[in-house]
Structure 1
């Protein structure tokens, strides 16, 4: 059997875990099901993830990195309003509409962290991480355009993150793509209104 680096095996098992979590939910996911999805023995999987909680933590970290990467690629060269709208559109198309099951998985994992003793910090870690990234990109976009923001950037970022979470849940309830686009534009309008980007003296 060809040697496979531990880092490559970890990525393989993470992909399998995400697939099972998306299909069966957190409650229905077992290490045995993930091993079957990855086409390895349960003993082999134990080398990387000895218990389910460690696997869930790894998936949460992977999810945060994925969401962060989408927001970090937002165009910040055309002002704060453009950054808000572009960031929301990228997130929606890449991480919600493309596969609603993955969006549901992210929500379930967040709820799981809140409900599991000793794991609550992971939920806070996710939200704080998203907020820092959004705050940073909004600040960069405003700076690039010489704009000011009517509210602190961390306030704007928390409002964006909270709005996205709620809008995703509404979409998951009926998966009405046309209406979700309207809702997303309304969210963007509200956030731009909250930020009220202005060029001093302009």
Structure 2
């Protein structure tokens, strides 16, 4: 059997943890299940991550990284309303395509709340910071107050969170795609009123 480099093995284990958490929840995400999902010996998992909490911390880092990628990929370099709309559309599309990430995120946030961990907060804070920096750049040349940028970031976050919970609850892709359009319409209406 060929030796797998440690960095690749860690990456495989983090991806496996996301899939297992999405399928079985945090409580069902045993190290044995995660190792099996990654097609790795259990000892390798314990070598790469001394504790399950360290593995979960790496999962939170991966989630923050993916959010950052989705947000920056949807920076359309337009005005603030166009950019906010593109970010929200990018998030809803990503959730539809990446239900494992969405499920794992919801599971981990609930787990972090119960265990008083602050990793969930770091994912949200990082996403909010990236989103607001994109919106600030989009607002340059426009008369948009910094608190309005924060409000837009909050509204986009709240709408995308509500969307993902609904999508995961009903698992009806066609319905969720239609609801994504409604969510975008809500943002458009709010932005029109706020930026008028």
What is the CA–CA distance in structure 2 between the aligned matches of 1:190 and 1:40, rounded to whole Å? 50
Structure 2 residue matching 1:148: 3-state secondary structure: coil
**Corresponding residue pairs, total:** 192
Gaps of 5+ in 2: none
What is the CA–CA distance in structure 2 between the aligned matches of 1:188 and 1:152, rounded to whole Å? 14
2:179 is matched with: 180
Q: Structure 2 vs 1, CA of residues 103 and 2 (structure 1 numbering), >3 Å: closer, same or farther?
A: same
TM-score using structure 2 length: 0.88
Q: Structure 2 vs 1, CA of residues 60 and 187 (structure 1 numbering), >3 Å: closer, same or farther?
A: farther
* Runs of 4+ deviating beyond 4 Å: none
Of 144, 149, 153, the residue aligned with 2:144 is 149
2:17 is matched with: 17
Gaps of 5+ in 1: 198-202
What is the CA–CA distance in structure 2 between the aligned matches of 1:194 and 1:108, rounded to whole Å? 35
Q: Structure 2 vs 1, CA of residues 194 and 104 (structure 1 numbering), >3 Å: closer, same or farther?
A: farther
RMSD between aligned alpha carbons?
Answer: 1.9
1:200 is matched with: none
Structure 1 residue matching 2:143: 3-state secondary structure: coil
1:130 is matched with: 127
Query: Aligned pair 1:158/2:154, yes or no?
Result: yes
What is the CA–CA distance in structure 1 between the aligned matches of 2:153 and 2:177, rounded to whole Å? 25
What is the CA–CA distance in structure 2 between the aligned matches of 1:19 and 1:170, rounded to whole Å? 20
What is the CA–CA distance in structure 1 between the aligned matches of 2:186 and 2:167, rounded to whole Å? 13
